[in-house]
Amino acid sequence: MVKVNEIFFSLQGESSKMGLPTIFIRLSGCHLRCQYCDTKYAYHKGEQLDILTLMQKIQKYPSKHVCITGGEPLLQKDVYPLMTQLCDKSYHVSLETSGDKSTVLVDSRVKKIIDIKTPHSKACAPVHKDNLKNLFNTELKFVICSDEDFDWAEKFIQENHLTHSKVLYSPSWGEITATHLAEKILAAGSSAQLQIQLHKYLWPNKQQGV
């Protein structure tokens, strides 16, 4: 059983798959309280569903791309067999996770999008050391809230030898503009890729279901 906050069909707003029609499975529960969190409604509310029922629910959507997000999905032990069954059914699965929980048990077919928490996130959640050892099928995302966060992220990349990894910088909505972050990336000669939260530009007045 997994506790599900919402299931919806939209365009992927983040990661290298940005813009792809995607089925989202948002799981309930999170142990962190990031200051910029836009999914506080998923902290507690949700419905317990068995994997078979969940699989039946997503079959009605016209896509083979599935994103499992939260909350923090890895707090629920049955998310692992869920991801494996989705892969077995030829879904292209991505997992959005905070990074302080080990991803070693995640099916290797799943694309892991690990959110490295910057100082201004106020999450106090250092990335799990195992998550930087094997970066196959992995993207590392940094939500940048300030120039200080940018400098911290650049130092983190250098110290952990991540210049050849897939690194994404995302401007924190309402705190730093995409233009400013783009200029910082160019001026620093950074190896990171700029990403924006596409769904917030397309549906600025909607919080859920996008």
What SS3 string covers 26-90? EECCCCCCCCCCCCHHHCCCCEEECHHHHHHHHCCCCCCEEEEECCCHHHCCCHHHHHHHHHHCC
Does domain 2-202 fall under CATH 3.30.70.20? My reply is no
Assign 38 a pLDDT band (cuts: 50, 70, 90).
Answer: confident
Residue 32 has pLDDT above 90, yes or no: no
pTM: 0.94
33 to 129, 130, 173, 176: CA distances (angstroms) = 21, 23, 16, 20
Listed in sequence order, the residues at least 6 apart from 70 whose beta carbon sits closer than 8 Å to its beta carbon are 5, 26, 27, 28, 29, 30, 39, 42, 96, 97
98 and 115 in contact (C-beta within 8 Å)?
yes
For the residues 110-115, what does the mean pLDDT come to? Answer: 97
pLDDT of residue 126: 86
Percent of the chain scoring above 70 in pLDDT: 100
Q: Do β-strands 92-97 and 65-69 pair in parallel, antiparallel, or remain unpaired?
A: parallel
At 136-188, the pLDDT tens digits run 999 999 999 999 999 999 999 999 999 999 999 999 988 999 999 999 999 99
